[in-house]
Amino acid sequence: MSGYRHPGAARRRTKPHPKGRQVDADVRREITILLGERSRARDLLIEYLHEIQDIHGCLPAAHLAALAEEMRLSQAEIYEVASFYAHFDILAEGKNPQPALTVRVCDSLTCEMFGARELLEALPAKLGKKVRVLRAPCMGRCENAPVAEVGHAHVEIATLKSIAGRIKKGRTNAGVSAY
């Protein structure tokens, strides 16, 4: 039986290679430094995605690949979580970075009834190319529709003027409400 070879024998000679996008060494270093000594447990994934999004204004594909490797998760799993939430912006490879500021306008039913569509149509011309205007799902503030989010700051009973005014004053961080 010296000439016999098992049909699956060739597989053993195949070099193993990682699935998904290859990880860039510089980005890997950046992610390792960002996470530092903190846990790599999967329940911290959203927190780390937030941190990357805050630093870069988006989630570059290279950073998602490096985060997947660092947390020992599959890239598919990272993409699934990142694409589920409206406030994460995945930046595909080769695409230009997004404008630094994003304005999201809720286009769910109540906001739609109170003028969200008109806001969405008029805002790009009003705010110019440096601001990206996106639709977003309900922000849980329907009683003060229409609602927009300028950066991280919610604007209730939003108008063109109130949104533009907030950008002009640089008030784009989420405020902490008083008890």
Which residue in this structure is represented by tokens 């430094």? 33
Q: For residues 64 and 91, what is the distance between their CA atoms, to the nearest angstrom?
A: 10
Binds ligand FES (CB under 6 A): choice among 59, 67, 71, 106 = 106
Closest residue by Cα to residue 63 from 26, 17, 102? 26
The set of residues, in sequence order, having a beta carbon less than 8 Å from that of 83 and lying 6+ positions away, is 90
The stretch near ligand FES (CB under 6 A) out of 47-55, 61-69, 70-78, 106-114 is 106-114
Residues 3-62 that bind ligand FES (CB under 6 A): none
Site for ligand FES contains 138 (CB under 6 A): yes
> What is the nearest approach in angstroms of ligand FES to the Cβ of residue 71?
32
Angle, CA 118 vertex, CA 82 and CA 129 arms, to 5°: 60
Asked if 135 touches ligand FES (CB under 6 A), the answer is no
Strand-pair category, 131-136 with 90-91: unpaired
Based on the shown chain and the rule CB under 6 A, indicate whether residue 142 belongs to the binding site for ligand FES: yes
- Residue 110 in contact with ligand FES, rule: CB under 6 A: yes
Instruction: Tell me the one-letter amino acid at 36.
Output: G
Count the residues of the shown chain that bind ligand FES, applying the rule CB under 6 A.
12
Q: Whose CA is closest to 150, among 167, 130, 165? A: 167
160: left (phi over 0), alpha (psi -120 to 50) or beta: alpha
**Is 111 a residue that touches ligand FES (CB under 6 A)?**
yes
Task: Give me the residues paired with residue 148 across strands.
Answer: 105, 155
CB of 86 to ligand FES, least distance (A): 12
Interface residue with ligand FES, options 50, 117, 141, 153 (CB under 6 A): 141
Q: Is 108 in the site for ligand FES (CB under 6 A)?
A: yes
SS3 state of residue 69: helix
Q: Which of 91, 145, 158, 163 binds ligand FES (CB under 6 A)?
A: 145
Cβ neighbours around 145 below 10 Å, total: 21
Name the residue nearer to ligand FES (CB basis): 131 or 145.
145
Least distance CB 144 / ligand FES (angstroms): 8
Interface contacts to ligand FES, rule CB under 6 A: 106, 108-111, 138-142, 145, 147
